[in-house]
Amino acid sequence: MDMYPSNRRRWADIEDEEEQATAAMRSSSITSEVLAAPDTTFLQVENVVADGNCLFHALVHAHTRATEDENSDRPLPAELGQALRRDVTSFLIAHAVEQGDFAESWLEEAERLERGSGEAWAGNVSIVAFSLMQECRVQVHTRRPDGSIVTMDSTHRDLQDLADLPMVRVLYNGEDHYDALVEAENVGLLVPAWEGQTWPLRYWRIPPQEMHPQDIDGSLLPMKKTRSMESITSPELPGSTDDILEEVCQAVVAPTSTHPHRQMEDAITKL
């Protein structure tokens, strides 16, 4: 039998607080040293939805952030990534004949993309085509299991010698997912994206406690509230059914609609 349970809890709380304080001091120290690193471009990992179109979400996200600074905080809907997949597919087909020895690989990539995100994912050929289509440079940063990074230039060969092109960066996990990389404006508000990075730390992310779940379209969702025990165990109040019907009758219904739920809306108008 534990004779001092309250003391054990208290010491556990103290240990947790000490660990948090140590982590905060270490993070502050790391940030100070990193900020002193000259000529280093710090990059922030911005997650995109994993729905089979992650490469296109990452490309459109990174390209928008690189070319539209005034809209840097604007959420981007997933439809943009889906539309980019279609645009790249059409571009691959239209410009394959101009690619010399790579013409066949462009047509094969287009054929894969036409199968849909559920059956085929895009690869480096799509990235190169995107570079030519948008006239930008593209870097692919691939993360290795040990935490190190291999960077590959996937800019189209016709653009290699051109200066002053916007730089688009994406992060590949080495297996099955891409995220966007954007230049970090304030490393002091971020934490290292993962452990095992070589010095100086280049890759950062928003602290987990400040991140919010995202909808499929990239817009922030409201945090869901959990049901309390009181709401689960309390009996239903008399008359609550009438209140619900009254609220339903007050619902705004469009004059015409082709939505699959239209029959339900028509039924509501007859209540």
- Residue 53's domain is classified under what CATH number? 3.90.70.80
Is 160 inside any structural domain? Answer: yes
**What was the pLDDT predicted at 18?**
53
pLDDT tens per residue across span 84-140: 999 999 999 999 999 999 999 999 999 999 988 777 889 999 999 999 999 999 999
Does one domain contain both 155 and 256? no
Q: What pLDDT is stored for residue 233 in this prediction?
A: 35
Residue segments in the chain with a per-residue pLDDT below the cut of 70: 1-39, 69-76, 78, 209-271
Domain identity same for 76 and 171: yes
> How many domains is the chain built from?
2
Range of the structural domain that residue 38 is part of: 30-210
Last residue of a domain, one of 210, 228, 251: 210
Which phi and psi angles does 43 have, rounded to 5°?
A: -120, 140
Amino acid 224: pLDDT: 30
pLDDT at position 218:
44
Domain end: 185, 210, 235, which one? Answer: 210
Same domain, 190 and 256: no
In a domain, 215, yes or no: no
Q: 250 and 205 in one domain?
A: no
Q: Looking at the structure, tell me whether residues 94 and 169 fall in a common domain.
A: yes
Residue 216 domain-assigned? Answer: no
Pair (133, 85) in one structural domain? yes
Record the pTM. Answer: 0.64
Q: Is residue 14 part of a domain?
A: no
Residue 54 in domain? yes
Residue 2, in any domain of the structure: no
Which of 164, 189, 210 is the last residue before a domain boundary? 210
Are 267 and 203 in a shared domain?
A: no
